[in-house]
Amino acid sequence: MKFEEIYQNYWQKVFRLAMGYVNDEDLAQDLTQDVFIIVYQKLSTFNQQSSIGTWIFRIASNTCLRSVEKKQKHQTTALPQDLSASENQFEVNDQIKFLYQCISSLNEIDRLIISLELEEVPQSEIAEIVGLSNGNVRTKLHRIKEKLNKKMSRYEYSGS
């Protein structure tokens, strides 16, 4: 597979994964770019023991984790305040931003698991990427979804 095809197929997925980690579009774009620089540089060493997607998500999660560790002291999860259009027009967009905020408040492993789940990565691949059993991933996903549902219901209740 050519790098251009890989980039086209995985850019948005890696970007959304990064958003789940950092909840900042500019930083997520920078991280996504960093991931694809690494993918480009290491593509010739890819040994196909796993799928290309699993390999890319592993690179992406490691890149995001390093970034989060560097920025841990200065971590913010505030929503952007510069939304200037009507409330109805941005209601769904605000909910998505709030979801990313909720995801970014999870611990690193839970962020990675739910981000991969949202990208529809099979649970067996998620297990391989994070180094857990399939059953453990399934249990963690259930608990993560419960946490996020509680947070999202508070968001909807508050009328934000």
pTM (predicted TM-score) = 0.67
Write down the pLDDT at residue 94: 76
Q: pLDDT digits over 129-144, tens only?
A: 888 899 999 999 999 9
90-105 per-residue burial string, b: 16 or more CB within 10 A, e: under 16: eeeebeebbbbbbbbe
Task: Compute the distance between CA of residue 38 and CA of residue 10 in angstroms, rounded to an integer.
Answer: 14
Whether the per-residue pLDDT at 82 is higher than 60: the answer is: no
Task: Compute the distance between CA of residue 127 and CA of residue 134 in angstroms, rounded to an integer.
Answer: 5
C-alpha distances out from residue 35 to 41, 57, 110, Å: 10, 9, 20
Q: pLDDT digits over 11-69, tens only?
A: 999 998 888 888 888 999 999 999 999 999 999 988 888 889 989 988 998 898 888 77
Question: Mapping DSSP to helix (H, G, I), strand (E, B) and coil, where does residue 51 land?
Answer: coil
CB 130 within 8 A of CB 113: yes
pLDDT top residue among 100 and 10: 10
Structural domain count of the chain: 1
Report the share of the chain in percent with pLDDT over 90.
30
The residue segments making up the domain with residue 124 are: 3-77+84-158
Write down the pLDDT at residue 30: 94
Q: Give the DSSP letter of residue 80.
A: P
Write down the pLDDT at residue 158: 58
Question: Mapping DSSP to helix (H, G, I), strand (E, B) and coil, where does residue 20 land?
Answer: helix
C-alpha distances out from residue 32 to 20, 79, 142, Å: 12, 21, 27
CB 130 within 8 A of CB 112: yes
